[in-house]
Amino acid sequence: MADLAIGIVGAAGRMGLALTRAVGEAAGCHLVGATEMPGHGALGADIGTLAGGAALGVAVTEDAGALFAAADAVLDFTAPQATAAHGALAADNVTVLVTGTTGLDADQQAMIEAAARSVAVVQAANFSVGINLAMALVEQTARLLDADFDIEVVEMHHRHKVDAPSGTALALGRAAAKGRGVELDAVAQRGRDGITGARERGAIGFASLRGGDVVGEHSVVFAGPGERLEITHKAGGREIFARGAVRAARWAADKPAGLYSMADVLGFNG
């Protein structure tokens, strides 16, 4: 079987460079293209050099259409508007799309779901193996513990992160809500300030911290009478997300059209 041809959009960002390194380290795949937004300072540079390694002969361009035409799979950790457009390109070229972009609105998410009717799309708030295992544990724990146990999701990220709560925090909240048999939107408490009154029974609370260069830390706290259980994941580097995304691309390469999650990739869904 020929190597999987992988392209990276947003390749010169922190996550894009981690993806470049992960593709280079993975067996059975090779990098065929890298793009950035028009006017970006990295345009024309070799992506291998930008990532701190040897030159790969792959220059950063702004031509996402050509990238999707050349690649078997494209890795996308960009921004909601760009990701929605990339969904359309994936469908047009029948190119597997692996996306970890968070913060999509309803219309942007609909474009990703439309793409998944034509090609395999793997969408996840977090591509690390550990956090996806944590999500499974959170769902199971929430199913076993009744509403006497309050649920709080606490996350911390670097100062540059623009959305809050993080996509991973919301995914953990959805896992807890699923375990409780409720919709997250009906029970979420996404911020407290001033005189808020007592905590509502059954609420799932969120707290977002920002500062420094923290890659990502998430805890789900189950606080009950006389005891507290915490499920915590701490990311030491973006490499764990990048390796997971490459794993997802290789897994999806022979899958039929559909919208898949990292839980599917890891076999958590059977």
Distances (CA, A) of 94 to 119, 221, 250: 5, 42, 15
DSSP 8-state assignment for residue 212:
T
Residue 75 pLDDT: 98
Q: Which of 30, 161, 178, 255 is catalytic?
A: 161
Can you say whether residue 127 is alpha, beta or left, with left for phi > 0 and alpha for psi between -120 and 50 degrees? alpha
Give the span between the Cα atoms of 215 and 131, in whole angstroms: 13
Given a contact cutoff of 8 angstroms between Cβ atoms, the answer to whether 75 and 49 are in contact is: no
To the nearest whole number, what is the mean pLDDT of the chain? 95
Q: Is the pLDDT of residue 69 over 70?
A: yes
Name the strand (E) or helix (H) holding 68.
helix 64-70
| Whether pTM exceeds 0.95 | no
Please report the domains of the chain, with CATH numbers, ordered by start residue.
4-123+238-266 (3.40.50.720), 129-235 (3.30.360.10)
Maximum alpha-carbon separation in the chain: 63
CA 36 to chain centre: 19
As beta bridge partners, residue 227 has 224
Given a contact cutoff of 8 angstroms between Cβ atoms, the answer to whether 60 and 88 are in contact is: no
Per-residue pLDDT of 233-255, as tens digits, reads 999 988 999 999 999 999 999 99
Q: How confident is the model at residue 270 (pLDDT cuts 50, 70, 90)?
A: low
Is 158 among the residues known to form the active site?
Answer: no
Give the span between the Cα atoms of 29 and 3, in whole angstroms: 5
Give the span between the Cα atoms of 45 and 50, in whole angstroms: 7
Residue 103 pLDDT: 87
Per-residue pLDDT of 100-132, as tens digits, reads 998 899 999 999 999 999 999 999 988 999 999
Q: Is the pLDDT of residue 20 over 70?
A: yes
Q: Tokens standing for 58? A: 């792959």
Q: Tokens standing for 106? A: 């309803």
Per-residue pLDDT of 140-187, as tens digits, reads 999 999 999 999 999 999 999 988 999 899 999 999 999 999 999 999
Q: Which of 157, 160, 178, 255 is catalytic?
A: 157
Mean pLDDT of 83-87: 98
Q: Tokens standing for 176? A: 């807890």
Is 157 among the residues known to form the active site?
Answer: yes
